Structure 1
Amino acid sequence: MNRVQQQLYVTSEWISQYAQSLDAPLQIVDGKYIAPSTMPIVFWQEFDIPWLKEAGVLIHGTQDFTYETPIIAEMVLDCELTLTNVEKKVGKQGVLTFLTHTLVCKYNDDLIVTAETVLIQVGDPHEKTYNS
């Protein structure tokens, strides 16, 4: 199974920048910023994801976030991104490969968020082999 781990320090500045990029209001609890619910999607930028390096054209499919508690500024999150499913289909555009990923982030061993994202690879599935 393809899996990578990354520890992320979520700063007030990072939350503020992300919220501004969405034109979303900043929420505060106990004097600390709360991250917008979609913020884990940018966590991917902090990972080295070897199975996507030569994936070619990728289209964003679906995304789902399940929270146990909000992400709050100054949390140090232990995150793990896993390729959980690979499914090949033939569509109007030719061969499509659906890559389902699960991102799990914990704070002090407590689950904070689970995010499932499907990316769609366009092209011949024989060009890239995924071990799932």
Structure 2
Amino acid sequence: MNRVQHRLKITAEWITEYAQSIEAPLQMIQGEIIAPVTMPIIFWQELDIPWLNIDEPWIHGSQHFSYKLPITAGMILDCELSLTNTEKKAGHQGELTLYTYTLICTCEGELILTAETVLISMGDQI
């Protein structure tokens, strides 16, 4: 299985920039800024994913986020991204391959979120 790990420091500035980029209001809990629920999708930009060919076209199939706790400014997240499934399907213009990725983030050993993302390619790109 393909897997990468990375530690991310979540800053108020990073949350604010992301929230502004998607025009989401900033929210607070116990005096800390809360990250928008979709923010983990940009965590991929911080990861070195050697098996993923970013020069090829990809279709974003789906994403799902399951939170145990909100992501707040000041957290240091230990994140692990794994390729958990590949599935080939026949498409109208040829064979499609669906790649399912699971991102698990913890803070001080406590599960914060699990995110599942499906990327679709024509043929076999990995």
TM range (shorter): over 0.9
TM-score w.r.t. the length of structure 2 is: 0.95
TM-score w.r.t. the length of structure 1 is: 0.91
In the TM superposition, 1:33-48 aligns within 5 A as 33-48=33-48
- Deviation at 1:30? 2.1
In the TM superposition, 1:8-87 aligns within 5 A as 8-53=8-53, 56-87=56-87
SS, match of residue 73 in structure 1: coil
Q: CA RMSD in A?
A: 1.2
- Deviation at 1:89? 1.1
Percent identity over paired residues: 59
> What's the CA shift string for 1:59-100, capped at 9, x where partnerless?
000000000000000000000000000011111021110000
Structure-2 separation of matches of 1:73 and 1:54: 29
Structure-1 separation of matches of 2:116 and 2:69: 17
Number of the residue aligned with 1:119? 119
When structure 1 is superposed on structure 2, of 23-32 and 102-111 the one drifting more is 23-32
Aligned residue pairs total: 126
Structure-2 separation of matches of 1:14 and 1:86: 32
Q: Which runs of 4+ in 1 moved over 4 A?
A: none
Structure-2 separation of matches of 1:17 and 1:55: 26
Structure-2 separation of matches of 1:80 and 1:95: 29
Number of the residue aligned with 1:110? 110
Mark the runs of 5 or more structure 1 residues left unpaired by the alignment. Answer: none
Mark the runs of 5 or more structure 2 residues left unpaired by the alignment. Answer: none
Number of the residue aligned with 1:3? 3
SS, match of residue 118 in structure 1: strand
- Supply the AA of the counterpart residue of 2:51: W
